[in-house]
Structure 1
Amino acid sequence: MDPKRILVIGGGVCGLVTLRNLIERGSFDKVELVERRDNVGGVWYLDESDPEARWQSPAYPNLVGNVLPEFLSFSESPFPEPPSTPHQPYPTLKETHDYLRLFAEKYLERGNIRLNIEVVRVEELDAGKGWEVTMRDWSLPDHAGREFVSVWDAVAGCTGWFDDPQWPQTEGMEELKQKGLAMHAKSYRGPQKYAGKRALIIGNGNSSNDIASHLVPLAQTPVYRSIRRPNLPHFVSLPDPRIVDVPPVKRFIHDDNNKVTVELKDDTKIEDIDIVFVGSGTYRILDSFISIIPLMSQARAPQPRRIPSLHKHILYAYNPTLAFIGTVMPYTPFTIADVSSTWLTLVWSNQVPFPPSPEARLLFEKERIQHIERQREIEAAETGREASSLFTYSALGASEEDYAAGLKAAIVAAKPELESVLPEWSEKRRTYRQSMYEVKRQSLLWLKKQKDDLEQAKANENGSGLANGVLNGSRS
């Protein structure tokens, strides 16, 4: 392992911190990041000026996060104090993108980051000769996306989770998609166009809860939310009598008037639905441009929510000059990407050891799969129903601290000076991290009270009784 020229694919959270760590904590001849859009930031970059852009973020206007600033901070680059009240300490979409853009600024100026460059294909060369990468340059005046080819010693795929949304295989869903009567959360941009509509939302995570809360002031009520189980504590949402939870959907029936009848699994029906939102947060993580037959065939297997054959969720077992950052779903993606890419930097610098054979490297994956299967069996036995989809290979869940602490221990063994630089992972930090969600709940209650008080003041001033509560349901 002696890579000199390294390509980083993707200019979001994972790509930016990987680029920084490879440059600042490694000793490589050339490190370059390519991003297909015209700005860095990944999902945090929402270009509202061009709704028809080739690649869109899944973010929506006025989004407010649910992770505190310290967990959005890369090591040696603290997140600035957001200009918000003590009652609402969570950064907005714009504040988060501003942080990422500032973090990337010097690498943009130095030419380490190239925008408007799309990676089309990454092909493994014979005999350890690296990777042939085919790209399209969309920055040229004719916007033709002209292709060119370059060769790299190592490649880090950092494209994350939000490129390939998955739809439920429910009967009738395909027809709704074709008729424009179903929308995935990835394409949601706000509630305004659904005023007066009857809506049903599938899912009970952050996306579904946000969409439901946005819709209730404008749409016909109740707004229906189809769920399999009560939401977990970290999917923070205030109760609202205008949002009615219903069982999972058995089938959708579309009529000639572009209305939808929803038949639920308890055999009840909801009629005259105008729009169905898929907010279950389901995406397929697959860097489809990586051209390795075993990787591609396994990734298309019945368990698609992972990139297979990765050691530590990072190194491709059969050729460790290919790596991925951001293949896991953690509570704190910024800090996990930071420690993961620091570990990768030291592996590629021959400062951190890793198992010497593909078979040894694959043990991590095997043990992880066995662990998840046991956890799913335990939850199903305890609850009497199918285990949550969050008990999956790629969701770190309760193992996040142990995973990150293990990576950090290997890093510190090689470079002790990084002990105080990288974040701490411990049981104490786990408890503190989990407290973020109660802070979020309190911030939502505070925000709701401010809006209720404002509406009451307006009603008193106008002598018209209580206002219609248009603002009352908004979470962001």
Structure 2
Amino acid sequence: MQGVDIPNVRPKRVLVIGGGPSGLVTLRNLVERGNFHDVQLVERRADVGGVWYLDDDHNAPNAKPTSAAPRWPSPAYPGLIGNVLPEFLSFSAFPPFPEPISTISGQPFPSLSETHTYLRAFASPLSSQGKIRLNTEVCTVEELREQTGWQVRMRRWNLDGSAEDFSETWDAVVVAIACYDHPVFPNTPGIAQLRKLGLARHAQTWRGPDGCQGKRILVIGNANSGNDIAAQLAPVASAVFQSIRRPNFPGFPSLPDPRIARVAPVQQYIINQLDEVDVVDAHLTDGTVISNLDGVVFGTGYCPFPDFVRVFNRADTQQTLVPIVTADTIPSRVPDLHRYMLYAHNPTLAFVGTAVASYTPFTIADICSTWLALAWTGAIAYPTTPDGLLAFEAERLAAVAAARKEMEAAPSGTSDQRQTEASALVAYGVLGPFEEAYASSLREEVVKVRPELGPVLPVWNQEQTAVREAMFGRKRAALELARECERKQLGL
């Protein structure tokens, strides 16, 4: 089976799933840079923008809901400021991202609302062409035999909460969703009881520190979410603890704060009662115990888990349909993808922005979907056997395993510390230092067949990589400036 030749596919009708940044730029690039008969995008929420769209219930928590349809909240929160500069949020062949209003005060990173406004403007012409369907939930995507397409079962939601189920068949499907439906919790003993009692929450549902006044809160993690949540809690909670397994990754800058106590990893959670109220005791790996916690907030990330996509089980002669990814997929990833995009066993299925994380996700999605548009129109060739298509994944998995092994072997103190030294960010789906090589190779293939795109496409080279990495320092400087402004306002 692995040696069977699969000619490069030439689909005519393509469905894009997901109306966030990756889905929107994929739609535009398929429409304008391919030669397809029909390209459409479906989004289950009431507006485009993905994580950058907060609905009315977020912006005004006490407001009466405007719709009885299900809600899929964004994990973002009011007041969120991004970590990516406008130049890396700008889509090719579209007006650049406007300079943030806060730039005049030294804060060069755009707000949540500014980013959503840009995405809506980008989507507007596509929407006016009838290319975008909102309030349309994709329930399943199922592979058809003989590579004859994909059956997509959907549900159209009405404002009154009623829905109509329907099914469509498409030649090809692009899954361009983020993975915020599947938050990751550690398997620390006691965490199940915390969740059952409502004492644990994930960054996915964080909406700010309201209700935490005077509380004792433990925050798990020191990536962007963990750092932001701890900083928001510091002025209002009576005590804030931040549990950290390893030193802060350079891409997630944060400032030391005397109101935030950084502590060791948690070994076990135990539920106790204080004045007939459930509280948490966190037993740490260094032997200390933090007692009488009112709650624990987990900034521990998300799992790529588009299990609504069902493909044939190639090991089964009956070719039964199975989820493309399960909880048993090790390491955690969307498996069997060529260049994080094409499904090796049936290249009419593609992923953009779902299977990979990067410093600059907007521009990565732009170059990936441009490459995909040209690959599906026959301008760019790719391997024609499953073995050839799977080689990319095998090479990346081996490279990541070697990097993790090297990290774990590096001297870092005690043996326990060595075992956790390999960051969770050293993973198959995280581009990290590989971003420049990955994106520049895609760009090179695109420009070779479409040289007119060269002047408008984003660039990856050593100079631009240095600019991307310098964003971390600029973010830290912006945080320091914001703190100084806060102190002045308080007369400190």
Normalising by structure 2, we get a TM-score of 0.90
State whether residues 400 and 427 of structure 2, in contact with CA within 8 Å, keep that contact through their aligned partners in structure 1.
yes
Question: 2: CA distance between counterparts of 1:74 and 1:11?
Answer: 15
Question: 1: CA distance between counterparts of 2:33 and 2:100?
Answer: 29
Question: 1: CA distance between counterparts of 2:237 and 2:325?
Answer: 43
Question: 2: CA distance between counterparts of 1:271 and 1:229?
Answer: 23
Letter aligned with residue 30 of structure 2: L
How far is the alpha carbon of 1:75 from its aligned partner?
A: 0.6
Question: Which residue matches 1:242?
Answer: 259
Question: Which residue matches 1:471?
Answer: none
Question: 2: CA distance between counterparts of 1:425 and 1:127?
Answer: 38
Question: 1: CA distance between counterparts of 2:292 and 2:312?
Answer: 47
Question: Which residue matches 2:405?
Answer: 377
Mapped pair 1:290 → 2:314? no
Question: 2: CA distance between counterparts of 1:33 and 1:170?
Answer: 40
Letter aligned with residue 295 of structure 2: I
How far is the alpha carbon of 1:420 from its aligned partner?
A: 1.2
How far is the alpha carbon of 1:49 from its aligned partner?
A: 2.4
Question: Which residue matches 2:395?
Answer: 367
Aligned-partner SS, 2:102:
coil
**How big is each residue's C-alpha offset from its partner over 1:332-372, in whole Å with a ceiling of 9 and x where there is no partner?**
00000000000000011000000010111000000000000
How far is the alpha carbon of 1:218 from its aligned partner?
A: 0.3
How far is the alpha carbon of 1:298 from its aligned partner?
A: 5.1
Mapped pair 1:41 → 2:49? yes
Question: Which residue matches 1:195?
Answer: 213
Letter aligned with residue 97 of structure 1: H
Letter aligned with residue 118 of structure 1: E
Mapped pair 1:25 → 2:33? yes
State whether residues 118 and 135 of structure 1, in contact with CA within 8 Å, keep that contact through their aligned partners in structure 2.
yes
Question: 1: CA distance between counterparts of 2:41 and 2:103?
Answer: 36
Question: Which residue matches 1:279?
Answer: 299
Aligned-partner SS, 2:479:
helix
How far is the alpha carbon of 1:308 from its aligned partner?
A: 0.1
Question: 2: CA distance between counterparts of 1:142 and 1:380?
Answer: 54
Question: 1: CA distance between counterparts of 2:278 and 2:312?
Answer: 43
Letter aligned with residue 254 of structure 1: I
- Aligned with residue 301 of structure 1, among 306, 322, 328: 328
How far is the alpha carbon of 1:443 from its aligned partner?
A: 1.2
- Aligned with residue 433 of structure 1, among 443, 457, 468: 468
Mapped pair 1:318 → 2:358? no
**How big is each residue's C-alpha offset from its partner over 1:163-203, in whole Å with a ceiling of 9 and x where there is no partner?**
21111111111111111100000000000110100000111
- Aligned with residue 481 of structure 2, among 446, 455, 462: 446
How far is the alpha carbon of 1:396 from its aligned partner?
A: 0.3
Q: Select between 77-86 and 101-110 the one with higher mean Cα deviation.
A: 77-86
Question: How do 1:11-160 residues align onto structure 2 when only pairs under 5 Å count?
Answer: 11-49=19-57, 54-77=71-94, 78-86=96-104, 87-139=106-158, 142-160=160-178
How far is the alpha carbon of 1:284 from its aligned partner?
A: 1.3
Question: 2: CA distance between counterparts of 1:365 and 1:302?
Answer: 14
Question: Which residue matches 2:367?
Answer: 339
Question: 2: CA distance between counterparts of 1:233 and 1:297?
Answer: 33
Letter aligned with residue 298 of structure 2: V
Aligned-partner SS, 1:435:
helix
Question: 1: CA distance between counterparts of 2:188 and 2:173?
Answer: 38
- Aligned with residue 431 of structure 2, among 389, 396, 402: 396
Question: 2: CA distance between counterparts of 1:298 and 1:195?
Answer: 41
- Aligned with residue 253 of structure 1, among 270, 283, 286: 270
Identity level (%): 49
Mapped pair 1:208 → 2:226? yes
Normalising by structure 1, we get a TM-score of 0.93
State whether residues 299 and 306 of structure 1, in contact with CA within 8 Å, keep that contact through their aligned partners in structure 2.
no
Question: 2: CA distance between counterparts of 1:380 and 1:48?
Answer: 46
**How big is each residue's C-alpha offset from its partner over 1:295-315, in whole Å with a ceiling of 9 and x where there is no partner?**
736543252531000000000
How far is the alpha carbon of 1:254 from its aligned partner?
A: 0.9
Aligned-partner SS, 1:149:
strand
**How big is each residue's C-alpha offset from its partner over 1:51-88, in whole Å with a ceiling of 9 and x where there is no partner?**
68520000001100111000011111211122223411
How far is the alpha carbon of 1:293 from its aligned partner?
A: 4.5
State whether residues 325 and 333 of structure 2, in contact with CA within 8 Å, keep that contact through their aligned partners in structure 1.
no
**How big is each residue's C-alpha offset from its partner over 1:405-436, in whole Å with a ceiling of 9 and x where there is no partner?**
01001111111111111111001111111111
Question: 2: CA distance between counterparts of 1:2 and 1:102?
Answer: 30
Distance 1:150 1:442, change over 3 A: same
Question: 2: CA distance between counterparts of 1:143 and 1:453?
Answer: 49
Aligned-partner SS, 1:235:
coil
Distance 1:57 1:414, change over 3 A: same
Aligned-partner SS, 1:74:
coil
State whether residues 306 and 325 of structure 2, in contact with CA within 8 Å, keep that contact through their aligned partners in structure 1.
no
Question: 1: CA distance between counterparts of 2:244 and 2:388?
Answer: 41
Aligned-partner SS, 1:22:
helix
Question: How do 1:406-417 residues align onto structure 2 when only pairs under 5 Å count?
Answer: 406-417=441-452
Question: 2: CA distance between counterparts of 1:272 and 1:298?
Answer: 39
Question: 1: CA distance between counterparts of 2:143 and 2:330?
Answer: 24
Aligned-partner SS, 2:57:
coil
Q: Select between 366-375 and 287-296 the one with higher mean Cα deviation.
A: 287-296
Question: Which residue matches 1:470?
Answer: none
State whether residues 44 and 134 of structure 2, in contact with CA within 8 Å, keep that contact through their aligned partners in structure 1.
yes
Question: 2: CA distance between counterparts of 1:418 and 1:231?
Answer: 38
State whether residues 92 and 456 of structure 2, in contact with CA within 8 Å, keep that contact through their aligned partners in structure 1.
yes
**How big is each residue's C-alpha offset from its partner over 1:101-155, in whole Å with a ceiling of 9 and x where there is no partner?**
010011111110000000001111111211111000003x552221101110000
How far is the alpha carbon of 1:287 from its aligned partner?
A: 1.2
State whether residues 307 and 326 of structure 2, in contact with CA within 8 Å, keep that contact through their aligned partners in structure 1.
no
Q: Select between 319-328 and 411-420 the one with higher mean Cα deviation.
A: 411-420
Distance 1:21 1:320, change over 3 A: same
State whether residues 306 and 324 of structure 2, in contact with CA within 8 Å, keep that contact through their aligned partners in structure 1.
no
